[in-house]
Structures are given as structure tokens and as C-alpha cells.
Chains A and B, each alone.
Chain A
Amino acid sequence: MERVAVIGVGQTAFEAERRGSTYAELVHEAASAALDDAGLDISDVDNIVTASNDFWDGRTISSMAVGDAAGAAAGEGRSISTVEGDGTAAAFYGMSRILSGAYRTTLVVAHSKASEGDGRLITNAFFDPVCERALGLDAVSAAALQARIFLEHSGKTTEDCARIVVKNRSHGAKNPKAQLRRPLSAREAAASPLVAPPLRSGDIAPGSDGAAAVILAGEDFAKRRGGKRVWVEGVGLCADAPLGQRNLWESRALRDAAKRAYAMAGINDPGREIDAAEVSEQFSYQELLWLDELGLARCERVNLSGGCLCAHAVIAAGLVRLIEAALQLRGEAATQAPAVQRALAHGQYGLCGASHCVWILGNDG
């Protein structure tokens, strides 16, 4: 099978409110940054995949609103398609399009402006309209139910979760793109207001405005271009049963996605073979849960970017993980781990991690 490379990455800064730009303008900013990084022009891109969510954007076919900003109509125009889901799933689709043989290069872009909608109502709408929505649950209260089950079942504690908050916030403080750039002490994390017990405000990812983009290319194109590139060694995508029908202390879907990605990359012992990981922890307990399922519980180089706890532009969150993993491999991350040859990136979508996408990236060699 042909290999696919990530040949360009770009992200906006993530902010609580980016009032000066529309979400389409954020898409253009991230796409332009990725093209600059790749040393390409939009004419070198032969197809585009966008990720967006109509409820967050407040319009139907929200992807079409960013088509021009992503370059769909520039020059001779090009194919554009869309994923309603996390940016990592859009990248999976973009890679599949290259592997189909129909395209050489894919621009993948994902965006959200969390400041413009009401996350409580938008994520309440994740629930079944006939027999669930009236209860008023949303992503935060549902996650609190998962958190309590996970802590009970794993024997981990809110202090373990606070350690994740402290670690990620200290990394985020050094990441110029992050929204929360002030470290949080263990005492501050433990004293942050209870939002939905056991979750405190420090345990919960902030809502961010921002966009992220990557350029993927087939092997021939990537090799001819030279330049900075990291290779996709493995990828896996899997969805789980709805809330209430699965064990919330575990994630069969993540185990499955990881198994597929590891098999594709030839990884037998992820704890030894993966040098750095970027996982989508929308809540502090999720980093512990996801790492367990990824076989990376002992990995010490996790979310050196600060993770979602420091910036979370909902739909873009996973693509930011992919970008940060690529930057680790390129030796360009704000908090750089030494000698990274292989990095993992993870994205999730839906309530309490209803679906997961796992990427293994590697350097030349």
C-alpha cells in the first residue's frame, strides 16, 4: 500500500473569544499556515476535507460556509467533502482519498468557535430528542457520570485527576497557541469550583475559538517535494454503543481503534515503542482512561502541548493533537521531548468518548 505523509501543519492561536474573525476566516488562517509550512500553493492541493458541526456553527451544511476559505473554488477549483465529527476523522477520510489513487494531496481543516454558541444546549442536543433530551443532560453532566464510574472502578482518585490538570496546565503555559497559559497548582486545582461532582472547573477543557489544518500527501508527491514530513504509520477509527449501553469505565472503541492502528504500524509494545502522545482529554479523568486503553499508562510524554485542558476548539481538538504529534517528530514542539521517532495522536467525538480515532506518526527511516 502507498504511504501517506503529513507534509504541512497549521493552527491558529486558541482563545476564549476570537471576536475579530469569523469561523471561515479562522479556517483560511489555519489553511494558509499549513500551506506555508508545506511550501505549497493552493493550486498544489487537489482536494479538501473539512470538519465541522452544524449545531456548533449554527447553520446547516456548515462545511459549505468554509469552502471558499479553504480554497475550494480557487483557480480551477477542487473537490471538497466533509466530515461531521472530530478533525482526526476528517484526516482519516482525507488519507483514504489519497489511498484511493484519485488524489495526491489533501488539505484537511477543522474549526470551532465555542464562544458563539451555547455548549449546554448544543451538547444537550446530542441526546435522543424523544426520550432523553428533556432530562437536560449535556456533555459536562454526562462526563461527570462517567468520571464517577471510572474513579470507582479504576481505584484512581480526584488527586490523580488533579495531577493531570497540573501537568497539562504547566505544559500549556509554554505553548504560544494555548488558551489557558497560566499554570495551575495542585492546591488551586483542588480548590477550583465544583461544576458537576466529581468534576471541578479545572478538570474541564475550556471552550475555545480556533482552527487547525494539515496537508496530507501520497508517497510519490511527499518524496518529490522533500521538506518537512512525517509518515502515517498506522491509523484506526472505531465507534462505540450509545451512553447507557456500554461500560463507562472502559472504552472498547478506543481499544479497538488502537489495536488497528498498532497492527498497521507494527507496534507490539506501545509503552516502549511510542515516544510521545497527544490525547484528546476533554476532562482530566479522560487522560487516565484513554491512556489505560492505549496501553500508555506509564508514558511520561503525554500532552506536552497542554492538551485539550488548555485549548479545546471542539471539532478542531483532535487535529491539533495530530499537529502537535507531528511537531514532536519534527523537533519543533514548544515543549519538545528528546529523540521522538514515533508519536501517537488521538481524537474523540460524542458523549463520553463515543468514538475514537488513533494515529501513529513516524519519522523517515
Chain B
Amino acid sequence: MDEILVHESRIAVPYAWSAGEVLSRFLKALRDERKILATRCPSCRKAYVPPRKTCGNCFEACGEWLEVGPRGTLLSFTQALYDSPAHPRPSPIYGLIRLEGADTALAHLVGESKLENLRLGMSVEAVFSESRSGSILDILHFRPAS
């Protein structure tokens, strides 16, 4: 076959996404108070973290705010044993964490533990980053609770 040329390029489009009122309050509480906030649906009482403005189940506004965590239960975990330009650290360990007081699972990084020492249902706690900027990574990771 004749030579087939391949055109290499990338899409580089900057965005400036609004966090909105609800996620702004959540991210500011991480940054300024080292607190994890959730919102609660008035109908089904489900507490969402990250907080939602509306409940997907009930199609209603989640008006009530509450603090959840910083401890939680590890519902699942894995380790990405491959490289990705999206990874914030090499071979990141990921967990799904149900924070105390919350009804949803928060996906986040797990640190200060090897994968083989993690167990489903174990207690973990949030470790806050020293330098915080109003990002989900203001929580550095979760670690097995002391």
C-alpha cells in the first residue's frame, strides 16, 4: 500500500468554568476551613457530597447545608498501574469514600497506604493539603484512619 500520512495535532482550548454558588461554597470551605460540606434534599433526606443544588431523585432544591467527614468508610479502591497524563501522581490509588453524615460516595485519592493494606469497609480520614487553592485537591488524599 502507498504510504499513509498521519496528521498529529492536539486541541488546546482554554476554559473558565464557573463552579456555581454551591460548589463555590464547598470549595471555599475546603480552602479556608478544612471542612467538607454537603447539601441535603428536603424530601428524601439524602446528603450529597460534592454538594448538589438539586436532588436527582426528587428534582427538588437541596437547601440544607451540613458538614460531613472528615472520616468515612472505604467503599471501593483500586490503583491505576498505568501512566496517564491525567494522573496527579504516579500510580494513583483511588477510593470511593462515604463520608460520615453523607449518603453519596466521593471519589478521591488514597495515600499513606499500600494497596494491599486497604480493605473494603475500613475507616479512612481526609488529609488536607498545606497549600490550598479552592480545588478538590485541597483534600490531598484519604488515609487509613488512626
Q: Which residues of A contact B84 (CB under 8 A)?
A: 120-121, 124, 136, 138
Q: Which residue of B lies closest to A152 (CB)?
A: B120
Q: Which residue of B lies closest to A124 (CB)?
A: B86
Pair B26/A145 contact, Cβ less than 8 Å? no
* Main secondary structure on B side of the interface with A: loop
* Nearest CB of chain B from residue A37's CB, rounded to whole Å: 27
* Nearest CB of chain B from residue A141's CB, rounded to whole Å: 5
* Contacting residues of chain A (211-265) with chain B, CB-CB under 8 angstroms: 241-245, 248
Partner of B56, one of A144, A145, A147, A245: A245
Pair A129/B79 contact, Cβ less than 8 Å? no
* Nearest CB of chain A from residue B122's CB, rounded to whole Å: 13
Pair B50/A146 contact, Cβ less than 8 Å? no
Q: Which residue of B lies closest to A125 (CB)?
A: B86
Q: Which residues of A contact B115 (CB under 8 A)?
A: 197
Pair B78/A131 contact, Cβ less than 8 Å? no
Interface residues on A, range: 35 or more
Q: Which residues of B contact A244 (CB under 8 A)?
A: 96, 104-107
Pair A120/B86 contact, Cβ less than 8 Å? yes
A182 within 8 A of B: no
User: B-facing mask of A123-153, CB < 8 A → 1, else 0?
Assistant: 0100011111111111011101111110010
* Nearest CB of chain B from residue A52's CB, rounded to whole Å: 15
Pair B79/A135 contact, Cβ less than 8 Å? no
CA A253 – CA B107 in complex, angstroms?
21
CA A242 – CA B94 in complex, angstroms?
17
Pair B96/A197 contact, Cβ less than 8 Å? no
Pair B79/A197 contact, Cβ less than 8 Å? yes
A156 within 8 A of B: no
Pair B80/A136 contact, Cβ less than 8 Å? yes
Q: Which residue of A lies closest to B48 (CB)?
A: A245
User: A-facing mask of B79-106, CB < 8 A → 1, else 0?
Assistant: 1111011111000101110000000111
Pair B137/A141 contact, Cβ less than 8 Å? no
The answer to whether residues A140 and B80 also contact, given A131-B27, A135-B94, A244-B107 and a CB cut-off of 8 A, is: yes
A272 within 8 A of B: no
Pair A194/B76 contact, Cβ less than 8 Å? no
CA A118 – CA B11 in complex, angstroms?
12
Pair B23/A136 contact, Cβ less than 8 Å? no
* Contacting residues of chain A (173-221) with chain B, CB-CB under 8 angstroms: 193-199
The answer to whether residues A131 and B23 also contact, given A145-B96, A152-B120 and a CB cut-off of 8 A, is: yes
The answer to whether residues A145 and B86 also contact, given A129-B15, A136-B80, A243-B107 and a CB cut-off of 8 A, is: no
Q: Nearest 6 A-B pairs (CB), nearest first?
A: A144-B78, A120-B84, A124-B86, A136-B87, A136-B86, A145-B76
